[in-house]
Amino acid sequence: MPVKTSSAIKNPLSIGILGGGQLARFLVEKGQNLGLTMWVLSDSKNDPAAQVTNHWVKGNPNDSNDISEFLKNVSILTFESEFADVNLVQKAATKKLQIFPSLSDIKAFQDRFLQKTLLETHQITTSPFLKVSSTDELNRSGEFFNYRYVLKKRFGGYDGYGTFIVKNKTDHLKIVQSITDFKIGFIAEAFIPFEFECAATFFRNKKDQWTHTPLVFSKQSQSKCDYVYGPIDHIAFNKMKKKIKSLMKKIDYVGALTFEFFVNGNELIVNETAPRVHNSAHYTLDALSQDQFTLHLKSVMNWDLSIPIESRSKQFCMVNLVGSNENSVNIPYDVSGTLYWYGKTQNRSGRKMGHINYTSNNLSAQSLLKLAQKERNRFKI
């Protein structure tokens, strides 16, 4: 006689993610822990997120037909990155589909000019900026900023891609000669001399509950996150938190929203924002009672965010494992930190292959970081 079975979860909730990289991988794993059915649309079954779900769909996240077919499986859609084609998603989405962050928010934050304008409108301190859509506007920007500025592509830039630092008139003239196509658009920002960089990630649900991660020191190397440690304090952080909370409420933002700051004395200046979970908060997987991926999913599900986030240790740090060649990596399995390997099938220069988290109640942040860097060198990545 056959055994009668039933679903382990009544009315399981399904969440779709556009993109299959490491951020999607962690979202899938944490979503499964929450009892959610996690769907992924990506190009290859070898993508990091595709490896950890039975609900992977082969397709191009920027193809309207693939998106339409994928969305038939899910009740909520969220994003691995801010570079989704908003128009394609809007065309493919049904009225019943919930999308978080909203497409209007994704559109605002994926365009650096709209992002900076939004910050300025809500009186959140950021560097002065100008829109650059032609050679004439680029030359005017050079003069305005006295030939010390940062030129960034409005769309698609991350980890330093599409960013050009201009320190003098000679640099400016080289940039003017090299850029002939302004179709994608640029912004020019004042060059900000800063002491160091830091970051924090904020979360909000539809009930207007709100929470955030601690402020962390963030070190960039070749325009990519090298390591973070914390928690750290800054005199302007409480004021900044209030402004960010107000911004998220006024635009009805739902999900994770990461802010990267320049520290200039007693001032916190927003460098960039990302409407998603973020590399700078990977330490939360071990250092906090709730990690960033769980908090993002709780936000988009409109679940309770009032439970306090508690630290599991006094100090923590995270070091990235970034490729510097195309050789296979020999992974040492006796590191004292917690290793997260992303499952990417090919190593290459500049590619984030994994990270290691460290926590301690005894070591200082600097001592913890030295240990992390020493162990990272053993990977010969």
Residue 178 is assigned to a structural domain of this protein: yes
Residue 89 is assigned to a structural domain of this protein: yes
Q: Is the dihedral of CA 227, 243, 203, 251 positive or negative?
A: negative
Based on the domain organization, do 331 and 275 belong to the same domain? yes
Based on the domain organization, do 184 and 215 belong to the same domain? no
Residue 244 is assigned to a structural domain of this protein: yes
CB 332 within 8 A of CB 44: no
Task: Output the CA–CA distances (angstroms, integers) from residue 365 to 37, 60, 168, 227, 311, in the order listed.
Answer: 38, 42, 37, 12, 14
Residue 7 is assigned to a structural domain of this protein: no
Based on the domain organization, do 171 and 73 belong to the same domain? no
CB 286 within 8 A of CB 338: yes
Based on the domain organization, do 327 and 225 belong to the same domain? yes
Residues of the chain with pLDDT under 50: none
Residue with tokens 């986030």: 309
Based on the domain organization, do 234 and 329 belong to the same domain? yes
Task: Assign residue 174 the CATH number of its domain.
Answer: 3.30.1490.20
pLDDT of residue 283: 98
Based on the domain organization, do 221 and 328 belong to the same domain? yes
Based on the domain organization, do 209 and 357 belong to the same domain? yes
Based on the domain organization, do 184 and 205 belong to the same domain? no
Based on the domain organization, do 226 and 337 belong to the same domain? yes
Task: Assign residue 235 the CATH number of its domain.
Answer: 3.30.470.20
Task: Assign residue 76 the CATH number of its domain.
Answer: 3.40.50.20
Based on the domain organization, do 146 and 279 belong to the same domain? no
Residue 220 is assigned to a structural domain of this protein: yes
Based on the domain organization, do 217 and 343 belong to the same domain? yes
pLDDT of residue 156: 79
- 328 phi-psi bin (left φ>0, alpha ψ -120 to 50, beta other): beta
Task: Output the CA–CA distances (angstroms, integers) from residue 16 to 13, 77, 204, 274, 325, in the order listed.
Answer: 10, 5, 19, 19, 33
Residue 66 is assigned to a structural domain of this protein: yes
How many domains does the structure of the chain reveal? 3
Based on the domain organization, do 225 and 177 belong to the same domain? no
Q: Where in the sequence is the domain holding 55, given as residue range(s)?
A: 14-99
pLDDT of residue 6: 55
- Per DSSP, 82 falls in state T
Residue 254 is assigned to a structural domain of this protein: yes
pLDDT of residue 162: 80
Residue 309 is assigned to a structural domain of this protein: yes
